[in-house]
Structure 1
Amino acid sequence: MSSATLPHASRTVPAREGPTRQVARYLAHTTYEAVPEATRETAKRLLLDGIGCLLAGTRGEPGRLAADAHAAMAGNGRGGSVNSGGPATIVINGSHAMARDAAFVNGITLYSVGVNDIHKPSGSHPGGCVIPAVLATGEWQCSSGRDMLTAMIAGYDIMGRLGRAIIPSHRNRGFHPTGTFGAFGAAAAVARLLALDDWRTASALGIAGSQAAGLKAFQSDGSLTMIFHAGRSAQNGVEAAVLAQQGFSGPHSVFEDRQGFLAATSDESRPDMLTEALGERFEVDATTFRPYYGCTLTITASGATAQIMQRRREANPEQIARITVRTHPIVEEEVGDDNPQTLLAARLSMQFNIALVVCRGDVLVGDVDDTLLHEPRLRKLLPLIQFETDDSMPRYGSVITVQFKDGSTERAEMFDPKGDPQTPMSWDDIQTKFVKLVEPLGDRPSALELVQMVRSLEHTDGPSLMARIARFADPSRRRP
């Protein structure tokens, strides 16, 4: 048999259609009109939030390192200012590359900021994986805003459903869901943008299954592989969908096979969660916006600490004797670090995030730089922050008690932070966060123009949107 006949031969469909094929059919046939208007509006707010993080990330080191690595591999040397050629924009330096590589660099840049969205049921950050893939492919394919929005919603769906199927077992085995689920989410979104049929979409998912990877070992030393996972997921998703478009096959039972993704990466799974109410319930609606710096396990503590510091505006860090944070035991296990040595370790440190709020007086929406990492006032607070673990506490809840040297105490609790689906951020909230994130890059009127462009996404297209993003990121391209 010649290699040219392999794609056709592999189109044999099993007698019983499993979850992979059902998901593929949904992805291939879902439409903009099939998504409720409220869900589309939530997706737009998430897209604006992701673009804000992408732009803010252009000021940081991880995105620059990724751009430099891409430039080196393209033969352009350090700096990445020379175009390697391609139809998609790398935002941090304005160069152009293949869509897969633009998605990689932009994914790392976006995810590096630490305030992008979180889908709590899956423990993954879909925006860091899906949005860069959609932006790069949408620019390359000249996709309509409607198609990009539909693809984004589909990508979030797959990541969220995978999490519901195998969390917590998957995470407990050491996998980082953003890296593992992200490859599938990005592949699903790009398959939808490329208008792949059922068979090719199933193959794209199958190929993504051999790319899905990401270990949580970064928590041991604060290394940058956590951020790498989002960029690689975005890149792998583009690559998987394009390979499938060309006829390259992947297993059409990648989710449910006895040697497939669920079995290989978890001890317990619920395959039915992949298809339950598929096309009726959308995981975009279950996604949390993050108004606070830090990781998902620290944001309620940051919010509760902010409430205390707002009540005691006259207080300063030197007046604090002790801070107790009551949380679920898993929180101390995962984010208990009173001596973080890198910016990423600081983001994942409960103590650092609480001390940051005490010193700043409020929670942050922006990134943290090296000057804060070793700021003396902040560092003195770290050993004063102690955990009080409680099995009855919800995983994402916190109760903060601050004891002052004068003998007084203040207490605050937070279980549903602003941004959760039950306490959503409005357009005004997201616009405020967006403007704060991008203020260092440009003027407020230009930022508001970009807000309006996303809000009316149906009336634009991929190249126009990316051109506006790139112009805002590059001072030489901004409108006077």
Structure 2
Amino acid sequence: MAAPERKIAQRDTASARLARFAVDTRRADIPDEAIEKARGCLADFLACTLEAGDLPWSRQAVAFVEAMPEGPCTVVGTSLKRSALDAAFANGSIGHGLVREDMHVPSCSHLGVVVWPTLLALSQWKAVDAEDVLAAAVVGYEVAASVGRELFDADLAAKIRPTSTVGAMGGAAAAARLMGLDAERTQAAIGFAANAACGLNEWPWAGGNEMFFHAGLAARNALTAAQLAACGTTISDTAIDGRAGLFAAYERLERADAVEPLGRDEYEILSVYWKPAPACNYVQTPCQAALELVQQGVRAAEVVSIDIDSFPHAVRYPGCDNPGPFSGPLDAKMSLQFSVAAVLVSGEIAEANYRTQDHPEVMRLAGVTKLNIEPSFQVAYPAKQGARVRLTLTDGTTRLATLPDVVAADRAMVRARLDAAASATLGADGAARLSAAVDAVGAGGGLSEVAEATQP
């Protein structure tokens, strides 16, 4: 006997509120600033994915999907075409490879490495409204961020990976909108994605690389959730805020009632920033403060000790307080000590800082670095991520640099990084085609053309 049909989108649950927002928000309701921010996030994701294509974990993701049957969807930067699920997995994993993906600080999440692989694959898999792609992305960021900012604090983020926990819900909401699902089916997609929350933060302690694949798994889960919902399957309307739902599972049920999209002029995507350094969010401001000291004339050989003043989330996040030794580049990219020391030695913020993890001078400086909590930075977080780097020199003097917040990469830097990565992978003509395809999204072009333009 068939199960009775239920109208689950009518109760005021967290997933219902998110679903109604995803379906009811018109493109005209979204400010142009948010739409253009989405275009910038797409460019940032593509730049990261193309630049990371030859890293070991990227090659592993490609090797995995290479063994799978062919399909209609592009694996960015390769000649491979695979199923939507396999392409979403590969592109999410590769896009995470540099650890330079976009950042939403209040949810402690990298949303672009889930939302964009989901929408890229969907756009090549199904006939969708290309004009609505950027609006769908804005919706995806909003849904994931709305859940993540209420669910995660420093304690939970130290154990459970925020990106892959809430990212799949954002990807599912974006996919459901682009597929034209109604509120009930969209709620089901979001609820299925909540059931597929994944990712543990054990990797910094054990030296594993599973973090890179969290985003790929979340993108795959997002597409799976949206398609299951489209097939008519039902889901608990309280999957997020029920007595055994997502928030209850992490003992945060009292916060679930606050899950609500901002909307209007306060879209969550507007608070997403683009990283200057290819490393953990929490090392960004300290690296910039260290670079300021280098530019003032300080040399690494003069440094006797280093103090980094930060806030509890930064100091307590897994892998951030690590003076070494380092088993690989991921360890180094998470470490405040290594990242600051590498900037002082190299004189720049660059991917090259992480290619060697045992440079003698970097290791010396990392070993004499102390992390401290600065109350003013603690109060300002998450609206701002302040940091101070204080150096004691061989002559007994101290030098310091203080930044009240990270200085984000701007649109020009994001485009320059995309052009450089695309030129290296696709050649000058290919880079020009990709740039034009990105500019055309939502203005006569869609993500399927972008995906095609990423192939050599």
Measured against aligned partners, the alpha-carbon deviations of 1:29-81 in whole angstroms (never above 9, x if no partner) come to: 33322211111111111111111111111121111111212334x3xxxxxxx
In terms of mean alpha carbon deviation, does 240-249 or 429-438 score higher?
Answer: 429-438
- Name the counterpart of 2:58: 63
* CA drift at 1:186: 1.1
* CA drift at 1:166: 1.7
CA contact (8 A) 2:119 2:175 kept: yes
Q: How does 1:48-197 map to 2 (within 5 A)?
A: 48-72=43-67, 74=68, 84-168=69-153, 171-172=156-157, 174-197=159-182
Structure 2 residue 185 is the aligned partner of structure 1 residue 200: yes
Counterpart CA distance in 2 for 1:227 and 1:233 is 11
SS at match of 1:403: strand
Paired residue for 1:349, among 326, 331, 335? Answer: 335
- Name the counterpart of 2:238: 253
Change (3 A) 1:329 1:445: same
* CA drift at 1:280: 5.2
Counterpart CA distance in 1 for 2:353 and 2:94 is 14
* CA drift at 1:463: 2.2
CA contact (8 A) 1:163 1:177 kept: yes
Change (3 A) 1:47 1:276: closer
Change (3 A) 1:15 1:373: closer
In terms of mean alpha carbon deviation, does 129-138 or 390-399 score higher?
Answer: 390-399
Unpaired runs of at least 5, structure 1: 75-83, 420-424, 475-480
Supply the AA of the counterpart residue of 1:190.
A
Paired residue for 2:406, among 399, 417, 430? Answer: 417
Unpaired runs of at least 5, structure 2: none
* TM-score, scaled to structure 2: 0.91
CA contact (8 A) 1:403 1:410 kept: yes
- Name the counterpart of 1:41: 36
- Name the counterpart of 2:310: 327
In terms of mean alpha carbon deviation, does 200-209 or 432-441 score higher?
Answer: 432-441
Change (3 A) 1:266 1:44: farther
SS at match of 1:337: coil
SS at match of 1:88: strand
Supply the AA of the counterpart residue of 1:39.
A
Change (3 A) 1:210 1:276: closer
CA contact (8 A) 2:122 2:175 kept: yes
Counterpart CA distance in 1 for 2:367 and 2:154 is 32
* CA drift at 1:118: 0.6
Supply the AA of the counterpart residue of 2:33.
A
Measured against aligned partners, the alpha-carbon deviations of 1:386-419 in whole angstroms (never above 9, x if no partner) come to: 2233344335321001222234432101122122
Counterpart CA distance in 1 for 2:221 and 2:138 is 18
Change (3 A) 1:71 1:435: closer
Change (3 A) 1:276 1:330: closer
Measured against aligned partners, the alpha-carbon deviations of 1:357-396 in whole angstroms (never above 9, x if no partner) come to: 11221212x46654x2223332232212222333443353
CA contact (8 A) 2:426 2:454 kept: no
In terms of mean alpha carbon deviation, does 214-223 or 39-48 score higher?
Answer: 214-223
Change (3 A) 1:440 1:53: same
In terms of mean alpha carbon deviation, does 427-436 or 455-464 score higher?
Answer: 427-436
Supply the AA of the counterpart residue of 1:350.
L
Counterpart CA distance in 2 for 1:89 and 1:16 is 39
Measured against aligned partners, the alpha-carbon deviations of 1:250-301 in whole angstroms (never above 9, x if no partner) come to: 2122122111112212435433432254455311111111111221111100
Change (3 A) 1:218 1:321: same
- Name the counterpart of 1:17: 12
Paired residue for 1:403, among 392, 410, 414? Answer: 392
Counterpart CA distance in 1 for 2:360 and 2:199 is 34
Supply the AA of the counterpart residue of 1:397.
G
* TM-score, scaled to structure 1: 0.87
